[in-house]
């Protein structure tokens, strides 16, 4: 039975990976009326006039990123190199540096934009400690739905780092699509983007989502962009310079296509906010650039990121081991010592060091009152170290 379910799940997610680029709309539709998300969705598409006034300066915006890799097996536990390839893909496309920008049709080249937003793995965590910006967590869940459980430690996921200071990206085996995003104004505790592990970055990824553009598209949503067709037949995406378009586009079309009487412009199916294959999308427009950068203007939903210390030098030393997590007696001791520890340390290692820091003995903690023999040890000062404590004692 277990094997059967495993097969169904793996098959399910592999098949859908080949079909559904983005499940953000379905995810947002599932939010309760009155929730922060519902409000955020209602406000999407507004502020069209604002985009003309603001968000047009040239300062490069740098965003600290933390990637939460949640895995069940080694394949899902993607390498640091693959994680970095995802960050590189963001910078490539948000700075319009991809080689395939030359595929942007001539009629759209004058509005194709360098968004001037850059992404970096965090160097300091929310406590100021050193980090490589990648968190790994193994769990028993084989696949995840677009229901935010991957963002909750209590559900086997991993809580976000403060979303006012970091872009949180969860890389998981996502069922139903290659990614989804929260939008500006969503609840801070579930803010961020979720990407299928085989669609993140440019290494070990699966076509047609193999060039890292799933995360480019989802971060577009996270910065306030709607889909190019406005999620309705000939809908409004709230951006002036994207042509009105009938529906989403799948696969890899070529040539001129027209819908909604969009005339000589035609459909912009190569926009990052369509559903086209990775190999066939290549631009954000100047209007989309303004809309995204507007999030960083004073009072904007993403403005707090400009004050983040996530890319600073770490300013805190790693926390010292607390001594109070264990009680040791007697001290001084003669032939044995007993250490009293919490239940959660049973099964964990206990290491004994001499005053020079040389390891004398390692054993496994078997009970909350664990007794250690000191037979054969010279008189002097010793240290007992467990997972979260360090205790000093004297052997007589
Ligand atoms: Zn989308």
User: How would residue 315 be classed by pLDDT, with cut points 50, 70 and 90?
Assistant: confident
Taking only the tens place, the pLDDT of each residue in 261-272 is: 999 999 999 999
Distance from the alpha carbon of residue 248 to the mean position of ligand 1, in angstroms: 10
Distance from the alpha carbon of residue 80 to the mean position of ligand 1, in angstroms: 26
Q: Give pLDDT, residue 183.
A: 95
Range scoring the smallest mean pLDDT among 30-34, 249-253, 346-350, 361-365: 30-34
Distance from the alpha carbon of residue 192 to the mean position of ligand 1, in angstroms: 13
Q: Is the per-residue pLDDT at 5 higher than 70?
A: no
Q: Is the per-residue pLDDT at 357 higher than 90?
A: no
Q: Is the per-residue pLDDT at 33 higher than 90?
A: no
Neighbours of 142 (CB within 10 A): 17
The pLDDT of 295-322, averaged and rounded, is: 85
Distance from the alpha carbon of residue 335 to the mean position of ligand 1, in angstroms: 67
Q: Which whole-number Å values give the CA distances from 131 to 28, 128, 206, 316, 385, in the listed order?
A: 32, 9, 29, 11, 24
Cβ neighbours of residue 219 under 8 Å, at least 6 residues apart? Answer: 90, 94, 119, 167, 181, 193
Distance from the alpha carbon of residue 172 to the mean position of ligand 1, in angstroms: 17
Q: Are 284 and 271 in contact (CB under 8 A)?
A: yes
User: How would residue 279 be classed by pLDDT, with cut points 50, 70 and 90?
Assistant: very high
Q: Is the per-residue pLDDT at 170 higher than 90?
A: yes
Neighbours of 31 (CB within 10 A): 19
Phi-psi sector, 147: left (phi>0), alpha (psi -120 to 50), beta? alpha
Distance from the alpha carbon of residue 180 to the mean position of ligand 1, in angstroms: 7
Q: Are 37 and 27 in contact (CB under 8 A)?
A: no
The pLDDT of 289-312, averaged and rounded, is: 95
Distance from the alpha carbon of residue 276 to the mean position of ligand 1, in angstroms: 11
Q: Is the per-residue pLDDT at 49 higher than 80?
A: no
- Exactly one of 43, 189, 218, 298 is catalytic; name it: 218
Q: Give pLDDT, residue 323.
A: 47
Q: Domains plus CATH for the chain?
A: 2-307 (3.40.390.10), 323-395 (2.60.40.3080)
13, 150, 123: which is closest to 68 by C-alpha?
150
Q: How far is CA 120 from the centre of its chain?
A: 12
Distance from the alpha carbon of residue 271 to the mean position of ligand 1, in angstroms: 11
Q: What percent of the chain has pLDDT over 90?
A: 71
208, 203, 138, 210: which is closest to 173 by C-alpha?
138
Q: Is the per-residue pLDDT at 35 higher than 90?
A: no
The pLDDT of 61-75, averaged and rounded, is: 97
Q: Give pLDDT, residue 46.
A: 55
Task: Report residue 18: phi and psi, to 5°.
Answer: -80, -5
Query: Model-level pTM?
Result: 0.77
Q: Is the per-residue pLDDT at 31 higher than 70?
A: yes
Q: Are 54 and 299 in contact (CB under 8 A)?
A: no
Taking only the tens place, the pLDDT of each residue in 201-243 is: 999 999 999 999 999 999 999 999 999 999 999 999 999 999 9
Give the integer Cα–Cα distance in Å for 149 and 146. Answer: 8
Distance from the alpha carbon of residue 183 to the mean position of ligand 1, in angstroms: 11
Taking only the tens place, the pLDDT of each residue in 172-198 is: 999 999 999 999 999 999 999 999 999
Q: Is the per-residue pLDDT at 6 higher than 80?
A: no
Mean pLDDT of the chain: 89
Q: Give pLDDT, residue 305.
A: 97
Sign of CA dihedral 238, 109, 63, 17: positive
Angle between helices 213-222 and 80-94 (to 10 degrees): 60
User: How would residue 56 be classed by pLDDT, with cut points 50, 70 and 90?
Assistant: low
User: How would residue 55 be classed by pLDDT, with cut points 50, 70 and 90?
Assistant: low
Q: Give pLDDT, residue 4.
A: 43
Distance from the alpha carbon of residue 283 to the mean position of ligand 1, in angstroms: 15
Distance from the alpha carbon of residue 273 to the mean position of ligand 1, in angstroms: 6
Distance from the alpha carbon of residue 391 to the mean position of ligand 1, in angstroms: 53
Distance from the alpha carbon of residue 43 to the mean position of ligand 1, in angstroms: 17
More confident of the two residues 331 and 278 = 278
Task: Report residue 199: phi and psi, to 5°.
Answer: -120, 5
Task: Looking at mean pLDDT, say which of 29-43, 145-159, 332-346, 351-365 comes out highest.
Answer: 145-159
Give the integer Cα–Cα distance in Å for 115 and 383. Answer: 55
- Where are the extended beta strands (E) located within the chain? 61-71, 117-121, 134-138, 167-172, 179-181, 193-196, 326-329, 336-341, 349-354, 359-364, 369-373, 380-386, 389-395
233 is catalytic: no
Give the integer Cα–Cα distance in Å for 186 and 35. Answer: 8
Give the integer Cα–Cα distance in Å for 328 and 125. Answer: 33
Q: Give pLDDT, residue 154.
A: 94
Q: Are 52 and 197 in contact (CB under 8 A)?
A: no
What are the residues facing 144 on neighbouring strands?
A: 174
Distance from the alpha carbon of residue 23 to the mean position of ligand 1, in angstroms: 6
Angle 162-81-103 (CA atoms, 0-180°, nearest 5)?
A: 95
């Amino acid at each position: 039975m277990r094997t059967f379910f495993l097969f169904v799940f793996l098959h399910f997610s592999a098949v859908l990976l080949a079909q559904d680029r983005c499940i953000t709309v379905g995810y947002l539709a599932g939010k309760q009326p009155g929730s922060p998300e519902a409000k955020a969705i209602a406000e999407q598409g507004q502020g069209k006039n604002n985009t003309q006034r603001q968000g047009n300066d040239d300062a490069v915006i740098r965003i600290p990123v933390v990637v939460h890799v949640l895995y069940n097996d080694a394949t899902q536990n993607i390498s640091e190199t693959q994680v970095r390839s995802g960050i590189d893909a963001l910078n490539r496309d948000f700075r319009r540096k991809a080689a395939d920008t030359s595929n942007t049709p001539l009629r759209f080249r004058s509005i194709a934009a360098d968004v001037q937003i850059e992404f970096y793995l965090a160097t300091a965590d929310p406590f100021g400690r050193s980090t490589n910006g990648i968190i790994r967590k193994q769990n028993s869940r084989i696949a995840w739905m677009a229901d935010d459980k991957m963002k909750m430690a209590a559900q086997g996921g991993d809580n976000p780092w403060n979303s006012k200071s970091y872009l949180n990206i969860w890389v998981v085996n996502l069922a139903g699509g290659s990614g989804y995003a929260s939008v500006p104004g969503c609840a801070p505790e579930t803010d961020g983007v979720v990407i299928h592990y085989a669609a993140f970055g440019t290494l070990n990824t699966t076509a047609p989502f193999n060039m890292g553009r799933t995360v480019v598209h989802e971060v577009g949503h996270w910065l306030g962009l709607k889909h190019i067709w406005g999620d309705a037949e000939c809908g409004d995406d709230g951006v002036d310079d994207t042509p009105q378009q009938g529906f989403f586009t799948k696969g890899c079309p070529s040539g001129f296509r027209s819908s909604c009487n969009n005339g000589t412009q035609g459909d912009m199916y190569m926009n990052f906010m369509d559903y086209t294959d990775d190999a066939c999308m290549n631009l954000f427009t100047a209007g989309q650039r303004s809309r995204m950068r507007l999030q960083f203007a004073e009072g904007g939903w993403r403005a707090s990121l400009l004050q983040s210390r996530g890319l600073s030098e770490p300013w805190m030393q790693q926390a010292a081991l607390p001594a109070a997590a264990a009680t040791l007696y007697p001290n001084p001791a003669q032939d044995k010592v007993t250490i009293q520890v919490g239940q959660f340390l049973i099964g964990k290692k206990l290491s004994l060091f001499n005053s020079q820091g040389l390891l004398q003995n390692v054993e496994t903690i078997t009970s909350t009152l664990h007794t250690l023999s000191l037979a054969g040890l010279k008189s002097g000062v010793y240290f007992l170290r467990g997972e979260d404590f360090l205790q000093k004692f004297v052997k007589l």
